Amino acid sequence: MSGEVFKGIKKALFLPLFLIAAIVSFSFATPPDPRIVADGNRCVELVFQERFADAHAVANGIIRQYPDSPAGYFFRAAIYHYQMIYLRRNAFERQLIEATERGIQLGTQNRNRSDWDNFFLAATIGVQGNFDRVNGRLVSSLKLATRSMEIFRDLDEEKVIDILYGTGVYDYWIGANARLLWWMPGVRDNRPRALANLERVRREGVFTRQIVLYDLMEMYLNERRWQDAADIANEVLARYPNNSVALWALYEALDGMRNIEERNEVAARISARIDLERDNADQRRFFDRRTRRNSETR
């Protein structure tokens, strides 16, 4: 894996936006309420802008509008998840767990009422699984991921192109860690197929076309495909110049290509972004540790 920024299944710091995307990514034959689609897309946009308080306000509106749906709780949990990644500390763990538990409860109560409800349930389970993965609870995260995938794989991906996003992310990281997961039945390294599916989503996805860029940056860094990762990072930064995920991905890619001068320029941009935060001690420690290590190894 590439340093401390991207560590896959063991200790991912920038997890794929698997579940921020999940709700708005599904092209149902009978589509979900347009209000949820619009508000879901707004949540994604605000997370990319790292305007987390505004994203929470939108998620809270979904909960008020649809109190019996897991959708709003899913968004609430996912926003907390990426907010903690941004802050570099688990400041909202209790709130995330409360949101996922409530969302899973509602989704289970509504199981099989519609594909729409099943999709929300799978997405909410996945948020909890990703959080457990970040915190080193591998067995728990795998159980939750498997439970989520069982629901996703029941959906017809020929009718629902964006479902390839969820299965592609899962298949890639299972394959990348196949040796660690030798004890799991049926584990295969299907990374080439997973990447191809995610590139297809990048071209054809209805709602995941933008979000899949986060995942591809992480995966191309893991594959040491530095230029591919840099190209996608620059694509994101063209629209969101201060996006910390893309800035760190570009930093890692330039370091991998030994482009030290440009790497250091990106480091300066990241540092300036951190300086804008009042409570930035954890972000600063991470930055100092990561940049010091790269400087020592070159």
pTM of the model: 0.83
- Residue 7 confidence (pLDDT): 44
What is the Cα–Cα distance from 241 to 244, expressed in whole angstroms? 9
Average pLDDT, integer, range 65-75 = 89
Task: Examine the pLDDT at 69 and tell me if it is beyond 80.
Answer: yes
Helix 34-48 vs helix 52-65: angle between axes, to the nearest 10 degrees?
A: 170
- 3-state SS of the chain? CECCCECHHHHCCCCCCHHHHHHHHCCCCCCCCHHHHHHHHHHHHHHHCCCHHHHHHHHHHHHHHCCCCCHHHHHHHHHHHHHHHHHCCCCCHHHHHHHHHHHHHHHHHCCCCCHHHHHHHHHHHHHHHHHHHHCCCHHHHHHHHHHHHHHHCCCCCCCCCCHHHHHHHHHHHHHHCCCCCCCCCCCCCCHHHHHHHHHHHHHHCCCHHHHHHHHHHHHHHHCCCHHHHHHHHHHHHHHCCCCHHHHHHHHHHHHHCCCHHHHHHHHHHHHHHHHCCCCCHHHHHHHHHHHHHHHHCC
Would you state the pLDDT for residue 269? Answer: 97
What's the pLDDT score for residue 244?
94
The domain spans of the chain are 8-223, 224-298
pLDDT grade for 270, boundaries at 50, 70 and 90: very high
Question: pLDDT: is 212 or 272 the higher one?
Answer: 272
Q: What's the pLDDT at 289?
A: 93
User: Residue 216: which pLDDT band, with cuts at 50, 70 and 90?
Assistant: very high
Lowest mean pLDDT among 76-80, 143-147, 162-166, 176-180: 162-166
Which of 22-36, 137-151, 241-255 has the highest mean predicted lDDT (pLDDT)?
Answer: 241-255
What is the pLDDT, as a whole number, of residue 117? Answer: 72
Tokens representing residue 265 in the block: 């320029």
Rg, the chain, Cα only: 18
- pLDDT(6) > 70: no
Q: What is the pLDDT of residue 189?
A: 92
Sorting pLDDT into bands at 50, 70 and 90, what band is 242? very high
Checking if the pLDDT of 159 tops 80, the result is no
At 265, is the pLDDT very low, low, confident or very high (cuts 50, 70, 90)?
A: very high
Indicate whether 230 pLDDT > 60: yes
Sole residue written with tokens 């890639």: 172
What is the distance between the terminal CA atoms of the chain, rounded to a whole angstrom?
17
Model confidence at 233, pLDDT cuts 50, 70, 90, reads very high
Distance CA 291, CA 228 (A): 22
The C-alpha atoms of residue 145 and residue 176 are separated, in whole angstroms, by: 15
90-94, 109-113, 170-174, 205-209: least confidently modelled range? 205-209
pLDDT above 70 (res 297): no
Query: Using 50, 70 and 90 to split pLDDT, how confident is the model at 207?
Result: low
